[in-house]
């Protein structure tokens, strides 16, 4: 009899998961609609909804005002049952965002840093950005169910930053350990360009595209790939790192802009924007500098395009704000290098892409727990849930 009881308990768990997944990403559903989607009887569906409401995962939707007769009860997934935290640790800033389980941003925080900021001070800036988010959102630390960090540099599958040129003491930093002490749970760490690609595919200009190449155009370029609708990290986490090849010339290509005649004396991080402005009005030296930058960008981009044969290329990063200057030269540079020229679109998420991609990956982690835990509804119990 003990085995029978265990089987019945597992069956109830599976029924609850079926009901929960039917409501995720859906408008409110009636019991009849839920029964059709889950394949359960109406009586079993009613029991499932009662259980999920007790646990805090589901809420009943009030009938519309003025409805005639006795309206059918409708249920919705409680996207506010828990929250995720996304982080973007860059060279000159740290950004944080808290979203609900549907990816809706609840609060954000930002702290300025610099290329010379020491490791511990940068980690302190991370803590300040998180604290600002938590204070603004009024979300308790215990209600943060998953955390993902996007960082500059090559990140292996264990979450270690293995290679980074832009920040002197960042390689080997233990981001998962630092944040795990605050949140008491595993922390996912990924390269920033990869998370930006994921955000564009889920929320941005590449929504629903199955195969795409993401190019981070900036002083510190990068690239990433989405393959068959999924973020492709590779065997060790280093997919897309064509910029590490000297022959590709990505590491030094921003120098074409920074050495453009007529702009000496300006801060290096401002020169590119000034060159793009000058190119926009037809300045010959600026147009030549942009052409040289794009020619180098096209070499690495073509290698990725020929490897993946993507439907779409997304141009992101700080320089994508000057996409009106970059897109046409990039297309012209790529056409003779590619067997088939994919469409190129500008990022629609801009500087939000990394932190939103981090939130997307954190939500994916929550979803995996729902699908795989022995009792995921207990493992991720909602605030005040009956367990």
Q: How many beta carbons lie within 10 A of that of residue 69, not counting itself?
A: 6
pLDDT of residue 376: 55
Residue closest to 131 by CA, chosen among 141, 121, 122: 141
Element (DSSP H or E) covering residue 348: none
H helices of the chain, where? 2-23, 31-38, 42-55, 119-137, 175-183, 192-202, 255-258, 268-280, 284-308, 323-334, 353-372, 376-379
Element (DSSP H or E) covering residue 340: none
Candidates 3.40.50.10470, 3.90.1300.10, 3.40.50.10490, 1.10.10.10; correct CATH number of 2-77? 1.10.10.10
Query: Which residues pair with residue 232 across a beta bridge?
Result: 225
Structure tokens at 86: 């996304």
For the chain, report the end-to-end CA distance as a whole number of angstroms. Answer: 23
pLDDT of residue 375: 56
pLDDT of residue 68: 61
The full set of domain ranges for the chain reads: 2-77, 83-196+372-379, 205-348
Q: How far is CA 357 from the centre of its chain?
A: 1
pLDDT of residue 56: 86
What's the fold here for domain 83-196+372-379?
Nucleotidyltransferase; domain 5 (3.30.420)
pLDDT of residue 62: 84
Q: Which CATH superfamily is domain 205-348 in?
A: ATPase, nucleotide binding domain (3.30.420.40)
Instruction: Let me know if the fold of 83-196+372-379 is the same as that of 205-348.
Output: yes
pLDDT in tens, 170-229: 999 999 999 998 898 889 999 999 999 999 999 999 998 999 999 999 988 999 999 999
Q: Which residues of the chain have pLDDT under 70?
A: 1-6, 64-69, 371-387
- What is the C-alpha separation between 192 and 195, in angstroms, rounded? 5
């Amino acid at each position: 009899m003990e085995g029978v009881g265990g089987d019945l308990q597992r069956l109830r768990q599976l029924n609850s998961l079926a009901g929960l997944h039917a409501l995720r990403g859906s408008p409110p559903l009636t019991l009849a609609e839920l029964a059709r989607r889950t394949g359960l009887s109406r009586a079993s569906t009613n029991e499932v909804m009662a259980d999920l409401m007790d646990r805090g995962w589901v809420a009943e939707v009030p009938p519309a005002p003025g409805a005639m007769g006795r309206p059918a009860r409708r249920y919705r997934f409680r996207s506010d049952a828990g929250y995720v935290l996304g982080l973007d640790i860059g060279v000159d800033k740290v950004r944080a965002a808290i979203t609900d389980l549907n990816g809706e941003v609840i609060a954000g925080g930002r702290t300025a840093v610099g290329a010379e900021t020491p490791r511990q001070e940068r980690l302190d800036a991370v803590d300040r950005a998180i604290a600002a988010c938590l204070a603004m959102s009024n979300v308790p630390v215990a209600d943060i169910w998953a955390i993902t960090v996007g960082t500059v540099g090559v990140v292996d599958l264990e979450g270690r930053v293995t290679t980074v040129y832009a920040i002197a003491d960042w390689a080997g930093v233990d981001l998962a350990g630092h944040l795990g002490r605050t949140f008491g749970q595993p922390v996912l760490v990924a390269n920033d360009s990869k998370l930006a690609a994921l955000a564009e595919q889920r929320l941005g200009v590449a929504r629903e595209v199955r195969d795409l190449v993401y190019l981070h155009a900036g002083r510190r370029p990068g690239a990433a790939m989405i393959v068959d609708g999924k973020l492709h990290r590779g065997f060790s986490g280093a997919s897309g790192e064509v910029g590490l090849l000297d022959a590709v010339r990505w590491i030094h290509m921003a120098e074409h802009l920074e050495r453009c005649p007529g702009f000496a004396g300006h801060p290096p991080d401002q020169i590119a924007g000034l060159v793009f402005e000058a190119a926009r009005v037809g300045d010959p030296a600026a147009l030549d500098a942009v052409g040289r930058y794009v020619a180098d960008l096209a070499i690495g981009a073509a290698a990725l395009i020929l490897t993946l044969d993507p439907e779409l290329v997304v141009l992101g990063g700080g320089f994508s704000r000057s996409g009106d200057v970059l897109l046409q030269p990039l297309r012209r540079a790529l056409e003779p290098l590619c067997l088939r020229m994919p469409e190129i679109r500008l990022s629609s998420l801009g500087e939000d892409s990394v932190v939103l991609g981090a939130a997307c990956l954190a939500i994916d982690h929550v979803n995996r727990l729902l699908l795989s835990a022995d009792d995921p509804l207990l493992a991720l119990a909602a605030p005040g849930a009956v367990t």
